[in-house]
Amino acid sequence: MEFPENLKYSKEHEWTRVESNRAIIGITDFAQDELGEIVFIDLPAAGTNVEAMETFGTIESVKTVSDLFSSVSGQIVEVNSALEDEPEFINNDPYGDGWIMIVEMSDPNQLDDLLNSSEYQNYIEEEKQGD
Amino acid sequence: MYGVHKEAGARFIPFAGWEMPVQFSGIIEEHIAVRSSAGLFDLNHMGEIEVIGDGAEDFLQYIITNDLNAIGDGDAQYTVMCYEDGGTVDDLLVYRINRERYMLCVNAVNTEKDYLWMVKNSKGKVQITDKTADYALLALQGPHSKAALQPSVKGDMDGLKRFGFILEEMNGAEAMISRTGYTGEDGFEIFLPSDKCSALWKELLAAGSEYSIKPVGLGARDTLRLEMGYPLYGNELSQDTDPLEAGLGWVVKMDKGHFMGRDALLSLKEQGTVRRLVGLEMIDRGIARHGHRIFSDEKDVGYITSGTMSPSLKVSIAMGYVSSEMAKEGTVLEVDIRGRLCSARVVKRPFYKPSSSGG
């Protein structure tokens, strides 16, 4: 399982890649593996405002429905519409083709609340032991 | 079996007191293996109840709704058991070994309830025994299941007709092999003593490797049965639903003589059912799930019992109960998916036509 060093991670299992004032957001390798094969994703339209740590959509595997949480606040400038027809991109390439949305950040300081790669890996180890 | 499955990378869920594998390599991959080749299921959680004695046939004719006169020795029959008011106790398979010896395969969650119900209502010379702990059950399903199974059994699987079964000795114990299943594909189910189970599991996986046979968990078992529109107890069937509205009128034989629930079912049949189980195909994007409400012109007309993204058809399918006047094929309804109203069309079941059917 991979957790690239150049990404930020949330405890809700989203990753965030920062490009100037924009945050590209997806779900982590761990999250896609836990969910299993993704069969459906419900996303808001571009232009919608999202709030950090609030739900912005849902993702469904064969058996489960899960909420998606934004790692930052701001306005969605683009959603990955390819996922509508090929949600399995999230399983196959969670940090690449499986990206979910791009947010124009209203408060980049929120990035400081996120975890780095090794902190996130420690966090999921703790979660697993809590099972 | 837990250790064997754990080794194979299975994920488990607690189910009716058993730790059962929900998936091995992935639900969709396993599902497709069953549709295109073969898959092996561990169904140890299913209940086995034996009914023996002079009065076995008469008692079963009374407790189930289907007519056992339609089958002979070595045949299995799908049926339901009903309460006096027509509500469903369980759906099950009855295996007729001979006139005085039957084996019933019942749902795991219902095993104890079924057993107690049968004991409470038993009559005549009959002995009812819960054999669940003694028996293991494996299912081999898919177009290549016959070829994959044949090397492990003595009997000629080609000659076994759909819903037929044979008894034969397997590793020094009596096993029952039937051409039955819950996937719609050609397939077999093998009842054998629990201590022989993990050896046979490994043997079948090894023998079937040339057909790319895969171990299959309960997740794919559910998507496979859903594509066929088969009911599942707890979803489509319950104490509060009768077999007629569930579309199982074909296993309710009114003219076989008196049986438990007959009076209630006969009057329901004469009045016409208030609601019906239908197949739904989503028109809008979204997956309808168990419990979602169904609307027509803002009026609540029913609820979803099961739903999934069909791995074979790649469309979102569901089943649900709707008012009978809404049950006509082609009717467009709306499903409330977490606050979003999504259009769906009433379609015929099964949703999917299997390539193999067996026998």
pLDDT per residue as tens digits for the range A47-79: 999 999 999 999 999 888 999 999 999 999 999
d(CA B241, CA B218): 24
Mean pLDDT of chain B: 95
CATH architecture label of A8-107: Beta Barrel (2.40)
CATH architecture label of B274-347: Beta Barrel (2.40)
Per-residue pLDDT, B208: 87
SS3 state at B120: helix
Amino acid making up residue B170: M
Q: Do A62 and B308 touch (CB under 8 A)?
A: yes
Q: Please give the helix or strand (H or E) that residue A56 lies within, else none.
A: strand A55-61
How many beta-carbon pairs below 8 A join chains A and B?
A: 39
Residues of B contacting chain A (CB within 8 angstroms): 22-23, 26-29, 219, 222-223, 285-287, 289, 308-309, 311, 316, 338, 340
Q: How far is CA B357 from the centre of its chain?
A: 16
Domain ranges of chain B: 2-44+133-227, 48-130, 274-347
Q: What are phi and psi of B111, to 5 degrees?
A: -55, -50
Residues of A in contact with B286 (CB under 8 A): 40, 42
pLDDT category, A131, cuts 50, 70, 90?
low
pLDDT per residue as tens digits for the range B187-229: 999 999 999 999 999 999 998 889 999 999 999 999 999 999 9
Q: Where are the beta strands (DSSP E) in chain B?
A: 11-15, 18-23, 39-42, 47-52, 75-82, 88-98, 101-106, 127-130, 135-141, 165-170, 173-178, 187-193, 214-216, 275-282, 293-296, 299-309, 316-323, 332-337, 340-347
Identify the burial level of A107 via C-beta atoms within 10 angstroms of its C-beta, where 0-12 means exposed, 13-18 middle and 19 or more buried: exposed
SS3 state at B330: coil
Domain ranges of chain A: 8-107
pLDDT per residue as tens digits for the range B9-55: 888 888 777 888 888 989 999 999 999 999 999 999 999 999 999 99
Query: Which ipTM was obtained for this model?
Result: 0.84
Q: What are phi and psi of B225, to 5 degrees?
A: -70, -30
CATH of domain B48-130: 3.30.70.1400
CATH of domain B2-44+133-227: 3.30.1360.120
